[in-house]
Each structure stands twice: as C-alpha cells, then as structure tokens.
Amino acid sequence: MAATDVEQRLAEAVVAILTADSGVQTLAGRTTGLVVPQDGIAPAALPCLAYTLAATQEIGGTGDNRRVQLQLVAVAEGAGADSVCRHLMERCEQALSWAAFQAQGLDAAILRRRRWPGPPVDGEGTRRLARAALEAEVWVTT
C-alpha cells in the first residue's frame, strides 16, 4: 500500500476516534468540527484539535509496516484555555489506543509520544489563545 494511502487511512481513523470520544466532545462543547487538518484550523470553531501526518517510513516485518509521525495540536481561547488544551491532549492519548484503531479497521499503535503545553498565543490582539501539542510515532501495518 502506498504511503499516501496509509496516511489517508490513519487520518480518517484519528478523526473518527477523536470525534466520537465523549471526553473530547464534552471539552469542546459540541459534537462536530472537532478535528481538522492543520491547514483548516483558521476557520474552525474553538476549541479544536488540528492534526498533521508526516514522515512516513517503510519498515521491515510481516506485512506492509510503516512508521508515521502524527502531530495533534489543541487550540482553545478565553479563560481556562490552558486547562482545556491540557485536558484535550490527555483525552487524545487515552482515546488513540490500539483497540480504537482496530475498531476503525486499522492495525495501528502509538509507539512513542511526547506531549507538551504550548505557551499562550495572542491571536488577533484581543483573543487569548492557548495551545498544547502531542507528537506521536504511529506504527501501521496493512
């Protein structure tokens, strides 16, 4: 399977898993438009999660195994934005399990991850934005 096919299937699984997660829905205060591609963050309602997939690397083993870099960024605004971002990252870590990927028809597991709080970002002078990010290495077998 081509790298772009793997990335597409992984992106679809990540969006489906996180959109269906009741914790993410509760933190965002809605059930739609929760997870967007990184380049779709500008028009998105906040808080939201933005994802980027990159650096697909074919690795050995049985089947077509690939290592894919996944970055998730939580963005929120207003009072409590830092807390919302931290909690969204915690939910992402919990929700993106091997079983959740299996339920989406994808054999994938997060091998390594690194989470950090981002500094508050001043959006347009009057908006107090906060960010937190999660970088993960995902092993995908097709």
Which pLDDT belongs to residue 99? Answer: 97
Mean pLDDT of 21-45: 90
Q: Which helix (H) or strand (E) holds 3?
A: helix 3-20
Domain CATH number, residue 12: 3.30.70.1700
Across residues 74-83, what is the average pLDDT?
Answer: 89
Q: What tokens does 30 get?
A: 């809605």
The range of the structural domain enclosing residue 37 comes to: 3-141
Bridge partners for 22 per DSSP: none
Mean pLDDT (the chain, rounded): 87
Mean pLDDT of 79-99: 93
Tokens matching residue 2:
């081509």
- How far is CA 53 from its chain centroid? 9
Q: What is the pLDDT of residues 90-120, one digit of tens each?
A: 999 999 999 999 999 999 999 988 987 765 5
First to last CA, the chain: 7
What is the number of helices (H) and of strands (E) in the chain?
A: 4, 6
For residues 128-138, give the mean pLDDT.
88
Q: Which of 11, 21, 17, 15 lies closest to 33, judged by CA? A: 15
pLDDT-based confidence at residue 56 (cuts at 50, 70, 90):
confident
Residue 71: what pLDDT? 93
The secondary element (H helix, E strand) that includes residue 57 is strand 48-59
Q: Say if residue 122 is exposed, middle or buried (CB neighbours under 10 Å; 0-12, 13-18, 19+).
A: exposed
